[in-house]
A and B are shown apart, each in its own frame.
Chain A
Amino acid sequence: MTLMEELNHRALALGVPLSVHLDLTYRCNERCEHCYLDHDDKGELSTSEVMDLLSQLADAGVFFLTLSGGEPLLRKDCFDIIQSARALLFNVKLKTNGILIREAEARRLRALGVEQVQISVYSHRPEVHDGITKVPGSLQRTLAAIRLLKSQGLKVTIANVAMRKNLLDMDHVHALAQDLGVSFTMDPTITPMMDGNTSVLRLRISSDDLKNVLRNPKLVGEVQQFCAPPPVDDSIMEGLPCSAGHTSCYISPYGDLYPCVQFPLPCGNVRREKFLDIWRNSRQLHEVRSIQARDLPVCSSCAHLGTCTRCPGLAYMEGSMRGPSSADCEKSLSRTGIVPASMLSRPRAESRLDFCVSSMRPCC
């Protein structure tokens, strides 16, 4: 067991929220066609509300803090927020498109001790990347930001979202990341929009393309091992779906608390209640925490149960947090060739392809 796994176990036993993802704004200076957010400001937490929240999160034991958006740097107080977060000794990860990062901003992020900056790059070709972001010149500015951050010694990860439009560029983006000396992660997750609109799902890659992705050693490492049939292990029935609501949660720019950014089950609002009161007492979080693998009506009988990356958030969006998330069923099938239980009991649906290749665990 790694030290990180050990800490996760301990946090779970103590009821400590080890990780929080906080979106500072949904406003953005890009208009990525796959984005699940609207970009209006419907009453963001004020600077003082965010500062108070950070203090509450530190008191609650939160260690890993992801600041994201929208584009978080659009908030004029973003650096003040990061400085406060660092003064409270959070491990801070920033997700940004980098457009607003110049040398001064890169130097400041380094000085503040930000642990990692994640930046989305959709293609090595400006016409494709800028076509997705709808901002001419965005690739050039994003790459310039990555170079500036690297020159300051910051750890940078390029995040690539695989879609029909840019799938063929994935290996080139991977090579670009290697040239820049930064990490690379690829995610074919296209999530329905927050208002339930599923039109963005048309951007998902096909089943055949998914199989190729899952057999790409540059992405998954040992293909044979990665695509091996799932092991048989009785202890799996005691397992928990993922960290969402157990040791991690998501807070929106308006203070709404959810189990995960990909799990739109409202659990409370930090404007009306203290964070720790929601974390400890929310009926919704208690329900999420009550689910064990044995309770899953379809998945508990599935051969993939031990290795499946079933996302309870995606399952919730499909109708039941205890149900299968069809994207993960599709992934298990593509990976191993073994038909999941959900597909034995219903006609096979058009592929749904939400998963994270980087970790091969649910995004939450």
Chain B
Amino acid sequence: MSEKYISRSTTIAARQLGDEMMMMSAADSMLFTLNRTATTIWLAADGKTPLAEIVKKCVCTCQDVDPGVAYRDAVEFAEALAQHGILRISDHPMNGLSGEKGENS
């Protein structure tokens, strides 16, 4: 199993509201909310920390959950967000947060 790295997109809007994180992608104007666990993973998505480590540190220490199951769920979650441009997934570490080409230039 190769390592996976996740990086937050900077093209989205996001704000904490109570226990959840509101998000909207500028690309498709779709609105999402993430629960507390998903928000924790999203906030830790720096492109450099392996997803397995994020799950171990942020999820498994707070919840009574099998690490393998938690990791598989996290990959599924990350892939779903990646489809909407909210996260980027790679087999290699990424530099900083991800945006579109030329962003903030």
Contact = CB atoms under 8 A, between A and B. Distances in A.
Does chain A bind chain B? yes
Interface of A: 3-4, 7, 10-11, 14, 16, 18, 58, 61-63, 83, 86, 89-92, 107, 111-116, 153, 155
Q: Which 3 residue pairs across A and B have the least CB separation, nearest first?
A: A91-B13, A63-B15, A113-B11
Contact of B13 (A4, A90, A111): A90
B24 interface: yes
Give the interface size bracket for B toward A: 20 to 34
B69 interface: no
A16 B17 contact: yes
Contacts, number: 62
A16 B17 CA distance: 8
B15 A58 contact: yes
A115 B33 contact: no
Contacts of A114: 26
Nearest to A13: B18
Contacts of B102: 107, 111
B83 interface: no
B64 interface: no
Given A111-B105, A115-B26, A92 B13 contact: yes
B13 A3 contact: no
A83 B17 CA distance: 23
Contacts of A90: 13, 15
Output the residue of A10, A83, A113 with the most chain B CB within 10 A: A113
A4 B33 CA distance: 10
A63 B16 CA distance: 9
Nearest to A153: B27
Given A83-B104, A89-B13, A113-B99, 5 more contacts: A10-B17, A91-B24, A111-B99, A112-B104, A113-B26
B22 to A, nearest CB: 6
Given A14-B18, A61-B17, A113 B12 contact: yes
